[in-house]
Amino acid sequence: MAARPVLRHRHLVGGGIAVRHAQLGCDINPLVRLITTAKLTPIPPRLLAAHLDKLNDCLFQVEFSCKVPDKPVPEIPNLAYWFSEEVIRTLAFLRAWIDEVEEETVRNFLWVAFSETVRECSYTRNGEFKLHRMPAEKLAHFQPDVFGIFRKKLSRNQHGLAIFMEKRQNVEASVSSANTVHGEFPMPRPLGGYDIVVTSPPYGDSHTTVAYGQFSRLASEWIGFPNARKVDRLAMGGHRTESKLADSPVTEAIEEIRSVDEKRANQVAAFYTDLGSSIHFVAKMLSSRATVCYVVGNRSVKGVMLPTDAFVISEFGQHGFSHRKTIVRNIPNKRMPTKNSPSNVAGKTAATMHEENIVVCQRTTP
Ligand SMILES: C[S@@+](CC[C@H](N)C(=O)[O-])C[C@H]1O[C@@H](n2cnc3c(N)ncnc32)[C@H](O)[C@@H]1O
C-alpha cells in the first residue's frame, strides 16, 4: 500500500533552470505512511549494509545458542490467539533490536520488513484482508521461521531500494496524515496548487469491502502505533454521517438498495458522502490545469452495481474538471476472494470485480 492521494507539483527552482518536483502522499493509516516513508527515503547503501551485517551476526548468535533472549512483549489484546508463544518471543526480540537502532531511516526500513514478518508469522489466513484465524488443523503444524522470513524480506527490500534509488528523480517527497474527507489540507501546499493527483480511493466502507485497518492491525500494534484499531472507522464510510448525499450518478442505485435494505443503503450513502467531500477538498488543492487519475471499482451491493466512475467524474465536474478518458484494466495482484457473497447469504456468491477503472479528468475551468 502507498499513501493516497499522491499529489505532484512542478515548480521551478534556480531561475527556471532546474525543475524540481514536489510529491505528497497522504493516508490515515500510520502503517501505510511508514511504508511509504521508508520506500521513499534514500539510505546510503554502506550504512544500510553495515546495519544488516550487524543484525545478521546477532541473529546467527541467537540461532547458535538455540535460545531467543526474553524481551518486553507489547500489550496487545488477544496476542496468544494470533501468535504462538515462540513466535511472540522471537518477534519481541526483533522489535527490541529495531527499537535500539539510532538512525530513523534504517529503523523505518527494518519496521517495514518486520511488519510483513508479523503478518506472515501470525495465525491469520493468507489471501484475505479481514482478520480470520487459520483452521485448527493448520495451527498445530504452523511453525514459521521468523528470523528466516525477516531476513528474506530485508534482502528483497534492500535490493528494491537500490533499484529505486537509481531511478529516483530529483523530487521532494512528503507523507502526510491528513484525512482528506475532513478537509485537513496536507502540507506542503505549494502556491498555485498541485498539478496531478494519482490515487485509488477505497472501493467502499472498510466494513463491507477491503478492511485495510484490520489487515494492518497486528503489525501496527507490534510496532506500537496508537489507534491501530481505529483505522477502519476513520476511513471513508467508516462512520455514520448526518449530511445527506446530494443527487448524483449513484442515487438511483442507492435507492434500489434501499428498497431491500435500508441500513445497507445508508452505509453506502455514507461512503459516497465521504468520497464526495474528499474530492471537494482535493480539488481545492489543485492548480488551474491539474489532472486527476482516480482508480475506482464499480462494486455491487445487494446485486446493484454502483457507478463509482460516473460519481467521480460528476464530483470533479462541479470543480471545473472535464472527463478526458477512462482506462479499464484487470486488477493486478488482487488479494480478495474471487467470489464473494454480496447478499451475505451463504452459498449465494457472485464474481467480485476483476476490473477497475482509471478515471482521468482535467481542469478546464479554473
Ligand atoms: C485502495 S487503498 C489505496 C492505496 C494506495 N494509495 C494505492 O493507490 O495503491 C485506499 C487507501 O485510502 C486510505 N483512506 C481511506 N479513507 C481516507 C481518508 N479519509 N483520508 C485519507 N486516506 C484515506 C486507506 O487507509 C487506504 O490506504
Confidence at residue 11, expressed as pLDDT on a 0 to 100 scale: 31
SS3 category, 21:
strand
Confidence at residue 129, expressed as pLDDT on a 0 to 100 scale: 66
- Residue 213 predicted with pLDDT over 80: no
Looking at per-residue pLDDT, the higher value among 73 and 190 belongs to: 73
Structure confidence at residue 150 as a pLDDT band (50, 70, 90): very high
Return the minimum-mean-pLDDT range out of 172-186, 245-259, 284-298. Answer: 172-186
**Sequence-distant contacts of 4-7: CB under 8 A, at least 24 apart:** 4/199, 4/200, 4/201, 5/180, 5/197, 5/198, 5/199, 5/201, 5/282, 6/197, 6/198, 6/199, 7/186, 7/194, 7/196, 7/197, 7/282, 7/285, 7/286
Q: Residue 293 pairs with which residues in a beta bridge?
A: 198, 360
Structure confidence at residue 242 as a pLDDT band (50, 70, 90): low
CB half-sphere exposure, 44, CA atoms < 13 A? 4
Looking at per-residue pLDDT, the higher value among 45 and 1 belongs to: 45
- Residue 14 predicted with pLDDT over 80: no
SS3 category, 276:
helix
Return the minimum-mean-pLDDT range out of 14-28, 115-129, 196-210, 306-320. Answer: 14-28
**Averaged pLDDT, 326-354:** 55
* Of the candidates 246, 348, 231, the residue with the CA atom closest to the CA atom of residue 300: 348
How many angstroms is it from 260 CA to the middle of ligand 1?
29
How many angstroms is it from 236 CA to the middle of ligand 1?
8
Q: What is d(CA 313, CA 304) in angstroms, rounded to the nearest whole number?
A: 20
- Looking up cell 491501530, which residue turns up? 228
Q: pTM of whole model > 0.75? A: yes
Mean pLDDT of the chain: 85
Measured from the Cβ of residue 189, the count of other Cβ atoms closer than 10 Å reads 14
Structure confidence at residue 9 as a pLDDT band (50, 70, 90): very low
Confidence at residue 226, expressed as pLDDT on a 0 to 100 scale: 87
Confidence at residue 332, expressed as pLDDT on a 0 to 100 scale: 66
**Averaged pLDDT, 57-69:** 94
Q: What is d(CA 77, CA 141) in angstroms, rounded to the nearest whole number?
A: 24
- Asked if residue 199 has its Cβ within 6 Å of ligand 1, the reply is yes
- Residue 252 predicted with pLDDT over 60: yes
With a pLDDT cut of 90, the percent of the chain lying above it is 59
**Closest ligand 1 atom number to CA of residue 278:** 19
Q: What is the grid cell recorded at 13? A: 527552482
Looking at per-residue pLDDT, the higher value among 241 and 83 belongs to: 83
Confidence at residue 344, expressed as pLDDT on a 0 to 100 scale: 39
Looking at per-residue pLDDT, the higher value among 365 and 341 belongs to: 365
Confidence at residue 334, expressed as pLDDT on a 0 to 100 scale: 53
User: HEC states along 59-103?
Assistant: HHHHHHHCCCCCCCCCCCCCHHHHCCHHHHHHHHHHHHHHHCCCC
How many angstroms is it from 130 CA to the middle of ligand 1?
16
In testing the pocket of ligand 1, which one of 28, 277, 280, 294 has its CB within 8 Å of the most ligand atoms? 28
> Per 3-state DSSP, what percentage of the chain is helix, strand, and coil (rounded to 5)?
40, 20, 40
- Residue 280 predicted with pLDDT over 80: yes
Residue pLDDT, tens place only, 289-329 = 999 999 998 999 999 999 999 999 999 999 999 999 999 98
**Averaged pLDDT, 258-264:** 93
Report strand pairing: 194-199 vs 6-13. antiparallel
Q: What is the grid cell recorded at 241? A: 454521517
How many angstroms is it from 4 CA to the middle of ligand 1?
5
Phi-psi domain of 172 (left: phi exceeds 0; alpha: psi -120 through 50; beta: other): beta
How many angstroms is it from 281 CA to the middle of ligand 1?
15
How many angstroms is it from 25 CA to the middle of ligand 1?
10
Q: Are 247 and 143 a contacting pair, CB within 8 Å?
A: no
- The radius of gyration computed from the CA coordinates of the chain, to the nearest angstrom, equals 22
Domain spans of the chain, in order of start: 43-167, 236-363
- Residue 1 predicted with pLDDT over 60: no
Confidence at residue 348, expressed as pLDDT on a 0 to 100 scale: 39
Report strand pairing: 194-199 vs 286-296. parallel
In testing the pocket of ligand 1, which one of 27, 182, 227, 358 has its CB within 8 Å of the most ligand atoms? 27
Q: Where are the beta strands (DSSP E) in the chain?
A: 6-13, 18-26, 171-176, 194-199, 286-296, 300-301, 304-305, 321-330, 339-340, 350-351, 355-363
Q: Are 94 and 74 a contacting pair, CB within 8 Å?
A: no
Q: Are 302 and 342 a contacting pair, CB within 8 Å?
A: yes
- Residue 53 predicted with pLDDT over 90: yes
**Closest ligand 1 atom number to CA of residue 198:** 8
Confidence at residue 15, expressed as pLDDT on a 0 to 100 scale: 30
